[in-house]
Structure 1
């Protein structure tokens, strides 16, 4: 992903030696994404992803790394962090907290069809079931409190109609979060960022199998309906218009229901949660666009996409099976 911190081969070798991963053969920066510094790391012991955390502190990281470990050990196709001799999953490199995870096979799919999204839905549901016995707690750090702090910072950059949309949605979501219906939603540790570029498929065209879900560094305890909505809002959206592709959305929901049946409250709240999910990513892209950080290979994403998605969620609330 974006490269904020340069890592030398010597530094990578020192970490590899500490983790008993052998000699480093290559170290290649990963240019996509915007949050952390990432490298592909090749050693005698295999292929890995090295991440240096630019915003998260060492005290926050155990939640994310333990969640990945928990899901991997429950048979989910997620990377498992490499532990040191002391059992710690978080390490230090170049003055930053760091982690090493196994590199998963496969490639991302830019134009998913029903074959892909059904598998994504099923895997998401399995993740929601698997966290029933995951004890660590940490709130979604990009939840309502972050929206309330970020909205005033980006508001001056918006044209009148976009500013009015943001103002109205912030009022709506603030009231929604206090409602009995919202409080009834099942919660647990969720990925909260399961976009197309965070999933890997492998196999012949038209017969690909989902073989990896990664980048858990926006995870937190939130509603499963919000996590489902985040996923729908990327995998099932027409990229040009922001409109929902109901064929793909129905397939994703079918895959999800094959593993976990949502509660009545989750069904009722899904249109509102899709609005929440669109707002969350509109705000983060606005923040990255108007207040970018210095980084090699960094390309902020256009926030207008999620403005279009939010407008469509408001104008055309979608109820599965309706």
Structure 2
């Protein structure tokens, strides 16, 4: 994936006049991502990532940057946006909003084990608690209202069985979202997209006794205010599944849930509707992948993700959550 908006050394030097980050040592494009132009930036003051936002507007961006700044100030390892000399967290580069954030340590772990899921579960709970006093208030933009808007546009592309699954699950989630139990679920700022490629791991120091060390979470540009258990369900549906079948890996799922709930135990309502939220998390990404596959927004989405992956996950969650996972969640909230 190429950088969509190129930046010359001269343009970079001129733009950095508005920052107090020292002199440029190295600057190079990051050949990944499907939404934005990203660059590694090393200066005499440290290592950073410069992002030019190809879709997000200057009006949309503050929520995400303010959230990251808030979490970083609460010692949650996330990219910390660097303020300009005027205090703003972003500026315009080539007429597009752009920001500089600190570079996290480590690399993604695309084949996570129990130890990785333990680190992720604990840090996700810390993130949720750290966001309780965050003043931003933007809903998850890929939640029920977006599903209701999008499902009619993708349904015509599906066969009969797929369409029945799409529409019946939407009806189930509409009923769930309208319930008193759903209203009682605790929530706040959520990552909403915490897949295994949105976390970094570094080598742990031998004296810590841990085999892995979480470098941090990144890519907060789908974040929003939602139910915390939804965020946990999205995370489990990626970190704790067999990629070929979509079935839950019980050992990884139990490790993530146990670690999360040592920091923030589930409420009775969260435990009661854990299976519903696993279905909601799978549905959100099945719908978005169907949309990207059949109605690609523009040429930069060169290779849309396979919608079939989350169709399999949704079917597996509708078939039932393993008893062991239910039992663990029940013990953890009492």
6-15 vs 266-275, greater mean Cα deviation = 6-15
* Rounded Cα–Cα distance in structure 1 between residues aligned with 2:259 and 2:114: 10
Query: Could you tell me how far apart the structure 2 residues matched to 1:228 and 1:115 are?
Result: 17
2:307 to 293, 303, 306: 303
The aligned counterpart of 1:217 is 221
Aligned match of 1:265 in 259, 262, 269? 269
| More off after superposition, 287-296 vs 53-62 | 287-296
TM-score normalized by the length of structure 1 = 0.94
8 Å contact kept, 1:32–1:298: no
Q: After the TM superposition, which residues 1-322 of structure 1 pair with which residues of structure 2 at under 5 Å, given as runs? A: 3-203=3-203, 207-295=211-299, 298-318=302-322, 319-321=325-327
The answer (yes or no) to whether the contact 1:230–1:274 under 8 Å persists in 2 is yes
| CA–CA separation in structure 1 for the residues paired with 2:119 and 2:88 | 32
Classify the secondary structure of the residue corresponding to 1:194: coil
Q: Deviations over 1:58-110 (max 9, x none)?
A: 11211111111111111111110011122111211111111110111100001
The structural deviation recorded for 1:144 is 1.0
Aligned length: 322
Any idea what SS the aligned residue of 1:59 has?
coil
Structure 1 stretch 229-238 or stretch 278-287: which is displaced more?
278-287
Task: Measure, in 2, the Cα distance between the counterparts of 1:223 and 1:128.
Answer: 10
Q: Is the 8 A contact 1:200 1:212 kept in 2?
A: yes
Gap regions ≥5 residues in structure 1: none
- The TM-score normalised by the length of structure 2 is 0.91
Query: Judging changes above 3 Å, is the alpha-carbon distance between structure 1 residues 276 and 94 closer, same or farther for their aligned structure 2 residues?
Result: same
Query: Residues 16 and 297 of structure 1: is their aligned pair in 2 closer, same or farther, counting only changes over 3 Å?
Result: farther
3-state SS in 2 of match to 1:243? coil
Computed over aligned residues only, the root mean square deviation of the Cα atoms, in angstroms, reads 1.9
Deviation string 1:3-56 (CA, Å, 9 cap, x unpaired) is 433333333222222112233343333233322222222223222111122222
How many angstroms does 1:286 deviate by?
Answer: 1.5
Residue 220 of structure 1 and its aligned partner are, at CA, apart by: 0.6
Distance 2:301 2:159 in 1: 29
